[in-house]
């Protein structure tokens, strides 16, 4: 809705700040604290196509391997991967205008990126969780989506999309520790009912919450993810668990394992879009500007 989000004057101010950051990127990159701080208020939508590849290193990777994506795109892939990818194309954001048509540029672009990845990493091939991740990248940066997917898969979430899912297993165990430290009551409830994070958080982590958060909130989470890495995913997962099981009356409604899992897996239906909180923040900053 047009009423959500910061006012235009604040957006323009943030855009100007990020343009300065981009212009001085090599110098800022050596000082991580100065690079990260502006991300906490969100990257302007108009500049994400430039900022995300810089933050995750995809821009440098693309320079180092110039024309490699185009070469992979022109080569035929294994038919077994092609068949699996094509079956998944219309499942990614089916109500988004970019992906509604089977022959539209969205589905065609998604196929090309995912197919190229199977050729770039033939030992890993294609993982279904990469589909929605690549789709969000394509919505924001068609030219560099492939290299951002490579960086996410190799640098940010190593082992997440491999056949044995080693990275997911490790981070699910880490989430248990995070929950114990940050929301002990919810953690105890999960333990009492035999609910492990792998049962509900695997999809959250592997898909980077693409299926579980309102879209504006998702983009803000990704802004921070490209700055801080996987710990952002663990923090968001802990927040979602606390919102579902943080209060005593909520835990009483989940009398067993199935009821608890149902609440956690349906978190999107229960989650209120926190963009409204960002709107209040933006209104406060606008008063300061005035």
Please give the average per-residue pLDDT across 134-148, as a whole number. Answer: 94
- The number of beta carbons lying within 10 Å of the beta carbon of residue 37 is 11
Report whether pLDDT(167) > 60.
yes
Sequence-distant (6+) residues with CB within 8 A of 48 are 140, 141, 219, 223
CA contacts within 13 A on the Cβ side of 276: 3
Report whether pLDDT(133) > 50.
yes
Alpha-carbon distance of 272 to 3, in angstroms, equals 16
Residue 130: phi and psi, rounded to 5, are: -75, -20
Burial of 236 (0-12, 13-18, 19+ CB in 10 A): buried
What is the pTM for the complete model shown?
0.87
Q: Using an 8 Å Cβ cutoff, are 138 and 106 in contact? A: yes
Confidence (pLDDT) at 42: 84
Ranges 7-11, 62-66, 149-153: which has the least confidence: 7-11
Confidence (pLDDT) at 285: 39
Mean pLDDT of the chain: 87
Confidence (pLDDT) at 25: 81
Report residue 24 as tokens.
């001085």
Domains of the chain: 45-156 (1.10.8.270), 166-276 (1.10.472.80)
Q: Using an 8 Å Cβ cutoff, are 99 and 107 in contact? A: yes
At 203-245, the pLDDT tens digits run 999 999 999 999 999 999 999 999 899 999 999 999 999 999 9
Confidence (pLDDT) at 289: 33
When pLDDT is cut at 50, 70 and 90, the band that residue 17 belongs to is: confident
Alpha-carbon distance of 271 to 259, in angstroms, equals 17
SS3 124: coil
Type and span of the H or E element at 135: helix 130-140
Alpha-carbon distance of 42 to 35, in angstroms, equals 12
Report whether pLDDT(74) > 90.
yes
Return the biggest CA–CA distance within the chain.
Answer: 60
Confidence (pLDDT) at 82: 94
Burial of 13 (0-12, 13-18, 19+ CB in 10 A): middle
Q: Using an 8 Å Cβ cutoff, are 92 and 99 in contact? A: yes
Place of tokens 């943080």: 246
């Amino acid at each position: 809705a047009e009423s959500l989000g910061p006012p235009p004057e604040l957006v323009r101010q943030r855009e100007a700040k990020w343009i300065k950051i981009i212009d001085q990127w090599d110098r800022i990159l050596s000082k991580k604290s100065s690079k990260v701080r502006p991300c906490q208020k969100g990257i302007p939508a108009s500049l994400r196509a430039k900022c995300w590849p810089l933050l995750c290193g995809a821009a440098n990777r693309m320079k180092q391997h110039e024309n490699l994506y185009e070469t992979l795109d022109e080569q035929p892939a294994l038919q077994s991967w092609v068949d699996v990818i094509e079956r998944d194309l219309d499942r990614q954001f089916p109500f988004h205008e970019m992906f509604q048509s089977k022959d539209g540029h969205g589905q065609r672009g998604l196929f090309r990126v995912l197919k190229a990845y199977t050729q770039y990493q033939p030992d890993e091939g294609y993982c279904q969780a990469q589909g929605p991740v690549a789709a969000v990248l394509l919505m924001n940066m068609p030219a560099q989506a492939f290299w951002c997917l490579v960086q996410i898969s190799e640098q940010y979430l190593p082992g997440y999309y491999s056949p044995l899912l080693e990275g997911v297993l490790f981070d699910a165990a880490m989430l248990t520790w995070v929950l114990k430290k940050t929301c002990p009551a919810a953690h105890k409830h999960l333990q009492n009912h035999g609910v492990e994070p792998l049962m509900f958080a695997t999809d959250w982590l592997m898909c980077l919450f693409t299926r579980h958060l309102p879209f504006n909130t998702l983009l803000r989470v990704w802004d921070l993810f490209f700055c801080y890495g996987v710990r952002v995913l663990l923090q968001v997962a802990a927040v979602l668990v606390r919102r579902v099981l943080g209060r005593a009356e909520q835990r009483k409604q989940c009398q067993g394992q199935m009821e608890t899992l149902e609440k956690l897996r349906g978190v999107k239906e229960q989650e209120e879009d926190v963009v409204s909180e960002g709107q209040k923040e933006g209104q406060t900053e606008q008063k300061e500007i005035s």
